[in-house]
Structure 1
Amino acid sequence: MRKNGFMVTCLCFSLSVLAQQKTQKQTQEFTANNKKITVYTTADNTKLRLTPTDNLSFTASKQPVETEISVFVQPSKQFQTFMGIGGAITDASAEIFAKLSKEKQTEFLNAYYDTQKGIGYSLLRTTIQSSDFSSGSYSYIEEGDKDLKTFSIDHDRKYRIPLIKEAIKTAGGKIVTYATPWSPNAFMKSNKNVLKGGTLLPEFYQPWANFYVKFIKEYEKEGIPIWGTSVQNEPMATQTWESCLYTAEEERDFLKKYLGPTLKKEGLGNVKIIAWDHNRDLMVQRANVIYSDPEASKYVWGIGFHWYETWTGAPALFENVARVNEAYPDKKLMFTEGCVERFDDTKYQFWPNAERYGTNMINDFNNGTVGWTDWNILLDERGGPNHVGNFCFASIHADTNTGQLIYTPSYYYIGHFSKFIRPNAKRISTSVSRKYLESTSFLNSDGKMATVVLNNTDNEITYNLIVATQKTVVKIPAHAIQTLVY
């Protein structure tokens, strides 16, 4: 018996070694030797918008010196698997889309969801019931119906569901879709109002968990599979619009006692649950509380986060994304919402808005994020509709007076990632020798590497791209973003 056990142990060890060798071989397969590089550029004060600007070749690299600026890519060091990039189809987006001509609707859909004609969105967030980006508050049930007998998504069938279906179709028939509630019904809450915060009353924890099930099943009947749901949009913010507060402990308990078990019981255990769904400032504390409880943690796919912690005037807390990633490497990270606040129609082409996207995306990906979701995909010439006046920017606006689409620089900056980094890509170790540049790289499953380089300075910069032992020299204009595909 001991001999057989020894043989089994040896066999397992051998298989383990072979698996490790295979993995090492796969990570070392990519080489820049003899590769051609296509450079795509978007730059301020130019007409360059995702424009091919250069074709380069690699040569053998020598030791760079300190006076040179370099971007270093090490293909053998791989990290998280990329899920995708996308935006939110809100009621506001769907209502404005419906006002466009058929020609402009096709242009819009292609711009976001077609991988060749547009930027190839592969993620989609939507709302459960109304948010501030709806023409008004509404519910899927009659007020007081705790048994959900009146549940109906007829409201969504007018604008939102048709747009989601068109997006899925344009994306090739599949798009990862997840849904988020902004507030339970007024009768379920402590303040008896869907607006202005309040909390979910304990006696309605189960009916509210049942509500998610109803939503998911009704959307699936419409041919819209729901990949995941978050527990609550911004659970620490008392907003003038639809909102609901959960402490970390309250979210943990709702997750482990109601939402998780209810989804599993109803045959929806495959639906991913995203916790937090709020800013980076408190995400570590929320992760600590929820993940420290095994019963809650087992139901949670990962932490969702937003970028609005800068409302205090303090800089973005990218390091908190890294802290969660290093503490809980078996859990995922998803950027679930970001937009430029305080709409101003004189700033459609305001370049720092786009640079905010570039910096956030590079830092979030480099800190372990697997997916990144913009907020509204479309708003009107007022930054709405929004029933509480919280008007914001979208990456594309529609002027409903002229019927024209307005592409902001943010659209192109997002496209430098979403068009060239595709689902199932692996993030690759990338660093810069000077803070003048920011960079990230992903190796796509087709063997193509995409390195994104961002220059937020006032100067054109010449830099080395050094990929393992190979090098090329690139120029990036002032206030520009480049994607190098090789």
Structure 2
Amino acid sequence: MKKIIVAVALISLSGFAQKKQKSVPFSTQNKTVTVYTSADSSDLRLTKTADLQFKELRQPLETQLCVFVNPDKTFQTFVGIGGAITDASAEVFAKLTPEKQQEFLNAYFSKDKGIGYTLVRTNMNSCDFSSGSYTYIQEGDKELKTFNIQPDKQFKIPLIKKAMAMIGNKASFYISPWSPPAFMKDNKNMLYGGKLLPEYRQAWANYYVKYINALEKEGLPVWGLTIQNEPMAKQIWESCIFTAEEERDFLKNYLGPTLQKAGLRNKKITVWDHNRDLLVQRANTILDDPAANKYVWGIGFHWYESWSGGEQMYENVGKVYEQYPTKNLMFTEGCVEKFDAKKYQLWKNGQRYGKSMINDFNNGTVAWTDWNILLDQNGGPNHVKNFCFAPLHADTTTGELIYTPSYYFIGHFSKFIEKGAKRVSSSASRSQLLTTSFINGDGKVVTVVMNQSNLTVNYFLCVGTTATEVSILPNAIQTLVY
């Protein structure tokens, strides 16, 4: 009896000690700041450029340009960064020599030799970046008896398998449809928008289950899905219109229950998957309905709202983050449009990525997905001639890989921020600099700084009452690890 009492007392004391334990504040003592830089008009590309030490700086002056980081103020949890393995990417990859294929895989999916992607998106049915339109069933097969993912098996699945094998258990692989089969739509065409007919809502919900199960039978665990790529865009390629109410009702009455009944309740469902412009309205409509809300993991968004001539609407991301702090914001697609081979090395293309990623993360985004991970020397293949840029291109006539500035800008985030990291407070004292910061599970802080000016800028990285002075070249991007 005495032994039992002693054991209970020890357990109680242990529990009390755990409750009393507080997290240790971040300290810069004995920390080295390692700086990596990519800069225009130089050979600096994710290049280590300095090892710096913190010194005391209790009160910066107004004349001193500063980046203030507070690692003790934490926000959203980081999921990952990656890109889309489309039919186009996979077809181009298949044309490379084995040596170039390995270089490509290392460039994206290795933390040591490349930039450490962990997110992979792919298209369910064809999209514009396919060599032609296709589905996984025979036209008219409402029962899905002919369902077969053979179109994916030649190019796409082999590349996804290679990528997933390199990423390992940190991988987050998700699917997105561009259009249901033509017979399920009111315009009887996979292209040019159109809507899902009411009588095919259940069949279309069953289609997601079939695709997820088929991929997992191939050894590809599916982490999540978006309901519809760009549901408010009538495109000349595969597209399908869902109003906010239609997407809400399809989710709560068909897709959500169907996934649950199929034993797929753990799949992360992301709504919207379109531009930041209508993001708040879509989130309000779906998430304010409890019956739909319970199925939603996150809200996805793209960056193409500037097609109208306006600016990027980063603040809309922050508004959704404020309204629905328990939901996840994920950037699901972005690329530099209108391919032009003369602009492979245009630095502004990379800056577009850096600016967007910093603003999106600072507004609560947990994951960031680029569009095609690889395209050819024509910005394709693309069956409707909607040619675009990718971070890496392959010249299929020479077999060479072309690394663009966008690749390096993305790498300043993806190579250093680990899955499970927490965003921490990070701000600049002048508009020349943009910044965001994360603290990894090992306690190391990753601070990204972008110089938006055409001049070299000297700034102080300030943490508490300590700082180190850093120099950043014109239009450059830096990652500081400490």
TM-score bucket (shorter structure): over 0.9
Whether 1:340 and 2:336 are equivalent positions in the alignment is yes
Matches of 1:363 and 1:448, distance apart in 2: 22
Written as runs of structure 1 = structure 2, the 5 A alignment for 1:105-116 is 105-116=101-112
Paired residues of 2:318 and 2:363 also in contact (CA < 8 A): yes
Distance (Å, rounded) in 2 between the aligned partners of 1:456 and 1:98: 38
Confirm or deny: 8 A CA contact 1:31 1:75 kept in the other structure: no
Gaps of 5+ in 1: 1-11
Pick from 178, 195, 203 the counterpart of residue 207 of structure 1.
203
**1:166 aligned partner:** 162
Residue by residue over 1:264-306, the C-alpha shift from the partner in whole angstroms, topping out at 9 and shown as x without a partner, is 0000000110000000000000000001100000000010000
What's 1:76 paired with? 72
Quote the residue 1:6 is aligned against.
Answer: none
Contact kept, 8 Å, 2:74 with 2:423, in 1: the verdict is yes
Per-residue deviation, 1:456: 1.9
Match of residue 6 from structure 2: none
CA distance in structure 2 between the aligned counterparts of 1:422 and 1:212, rounded to whole angstroms: 30
Find the aligned partners of 1:223 and 1:470 in 2 and give their Cα distance: 50
Aligned to 2:4: none
| 1:151 match | 147
Q: CA deviation at 1:448?
A: 1.1
SS in 1 for 2:136: coil
Correspondent of 1:236 among 207, 229, 232 = 232
- 1:413 corresponds to which of 389, 403, 409: 409
Report the alpha carbon displacement of residue 33 of structure 1 after superposing the two structures with TM: 1.6
Q: Counterpart of 1:295? A: 291
Which whole-Å deviations, capped at 9, do the CAs of 1:157-195 have from their partners, x for residues lacking one?
100000000101222355110000000000000100000
2:3 aligned partner: none
The answer to whether residue 350 in structure 2 is matched with residue 358 in structure 1 is: no
Q: Distance between the aligned counterparts of 1:174 and 1:423, measured in 2?
A: 7
Runs of 4+ in structure 1 deviating by more than 3 angstroms, as ranges, are 14-19
Q: TM-score, normalised by structure 1?
A: 0.95
Q: Distance in 2 between matches of 1:75 and 1:228?
A: 30
Question: Is the counterpart of residue 473 in structure 1 residue 453 in structure 2?
Answer: no
> How far did residue 62 of structure 1 move?
2.2
Q: Secondary structure at the match of 1:370?
A: strand
2:170 touches 2:419 (CA, 8 Å); kept in 1? no
Deviation of 1:15 (Å): 7.8
Q: Is residue 124–residue 177 contact of structure 1 (8 Å, CA) maintained in 2?
A: yes
Contact 1:33-1:470 within 8 A present in 2 as well: no
Alignment gaps of 5+ in structure 2:
1-11
Q: Which residue of 1 aligns with 2:255?
A: 259
Give aligned pairs, total. Answer: 471
Q: SS at the partner of 1:382?
A: coil
Contact 1:339–1:375 under 8 Å retained in 2: yes
Q: CA RMSD in A?
A: 1.5
The secondary structure found in structure 1 opposite 2:195 is: coil
Equivalent of 1:393, from 386, 389, 395? 389
**1:432 is the counterpart of 2:428:** yes
| Aligned-pair CA distance for 1:30 | 2.1
Q: Which amino acid aligns with 1:80?
A: Q
Alpha-carbon distance in 2 for matches of 1:339, 1:383: 11
- State the match for 1:306 in structure 2: 302
Judge conservation of contact 2:59–2:465 (CA < 8 Å) in 1.
no
TM-score, structure 2 length as denominator? 0.96
1:75 and 1:468 in contact (8 A); partners too: no
CA distance in 1, matches of 2:452, 2:44: 16
Look up the match of 1:3. none
**After superposition, what is the alpha-carbon deviation per residue over 1:192-246, rounded to whole angstroms, capped at 9, x for unaligned?**
0000000000100000000000000000000101100000000000000000000
- Whether the 8 Å contact between 2:191 and 2:239 is mirrored in structure 1 is yes
CA–CA separation in structure 2 for the residues paired with 1:108 and 1:436: 34
Displacement of 1:457 in angstroms is: 1.1
Q: Distance in 1 between matches of 2:62 and 2:84?
A: 43
Identity of aligned residues (%): 64
